């Protein structure tokens, strides 16, 4: 079956951006337990506790965003995406304010941004589908790239092809992705191969 690539969707943290965002530390600060997923953990709290936890989370996210760096391969990758007239976007469980701060500080255009305020967060495919709707592309013509299970699950369940970026942080994971890469720069080769199908 031929593949008509129209858009590339990215997870933000650990993929396009590297920052001191320490999720296990935030989980311990919020819940005293690093095994609780942050968004779901806050959602499960009584309303009066949610506000305080969300405030702490936002503060930690903005601190990390202020110190974030863009992956060195992003420049070349985004130029390639543009040269092929493809669309792009990010799907993140991070907040919109942090994304905007990073985009502004580094003058980078991430394309469509779906943050956790915008759609049901990954692994729910709703966030990926929301990006596809805005970009006016069919999910089967899209690739979702991420470094965590939720990215691959969300992409797969939305109907996208998926690429897992293997990092030291999540090296132990074995997601059911269509391709695996060791650095963002390797993505161009994968996409060019798929475009030739």
Q: Which residues bind Mg ion (CB under 5 A)?
A: 11, 13-14, 147-148
Give the separation between CA 190 and CA 197, rounded to whole angstroms. 11
Which tokens go with 124? 């729910």
Q: Please identify, using beta-carbon distances, which residue of 26 and 141 lies nearer to Mg ion.
A: 26
Give me the helices (H) in the chain, please.
23-31, 38-43, 47-66, 74-83, 96-106, 126-135, 149-158, 187-195
* Helix, strand counts (H, E) of the chain: 8, 8
For helices 149-158 and 126-135, angle between their N-to-C axes, nearest 10 degrees: 60
Nearer to Mg ion, 141 or 147 (CB): 147
Minimum Å distance from CB 196 to Mg ion?
28
In the complex, the smallest distance separating the C-beta of residue 47 from Mg ion, rounded to whole angstroms, is: 29
Whichever of 90 and 141 has its CB closer to Mg ion, that residue is 90
Q: Smaller CB distance to Mg ion: residue 84 or 96?
A: 96
CB of 25 to Mg ion, least distance (A): 16
**Minimum CB–partner distance for residue 76 and Mg ion (Å):** 20
């Amino acid at each position: 079956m031929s593949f008509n690539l129209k858009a590339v969707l990215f997870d933000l943290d650990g993929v396009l951006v590297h920052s001191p965002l320490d999720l296990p530390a935030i989980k311990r600060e919020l819940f005293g337990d690093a095994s609780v997923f942050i968004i779901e953990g806050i959602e499960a709290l009584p309303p009066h506790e949610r506000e305080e936890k969300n405030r702490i989370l936002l503060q930690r996210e903005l601190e990390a965003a202020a110190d974030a760096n863009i992956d060195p391969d992003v420049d070349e990758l985004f130029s390639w995406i543009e040269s092929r007239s493809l669309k792009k976007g990010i799907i993140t469980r991070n907040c919109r304010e942090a994304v905007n701060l990073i985009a502004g500080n580094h003058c980078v255009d991430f394309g469509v941004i779906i943050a956790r305020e915008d759609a049901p967060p990954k692994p729910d495919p709703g966030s990926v589908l929301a990006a596809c709707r805005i970009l006016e592309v069919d999910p089967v013509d899209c690739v979702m790239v991420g470094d965590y299970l939720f990215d691959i699950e969300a992409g797969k369940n939305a109907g996208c092809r998926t690429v897992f970026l293997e990092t030291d942080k999540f090296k132990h994971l074995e997601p059911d992705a269509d391709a695996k890469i060791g650095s963002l720069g390797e993505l161009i080769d994968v996409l060019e191969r798929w475009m030739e199908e």
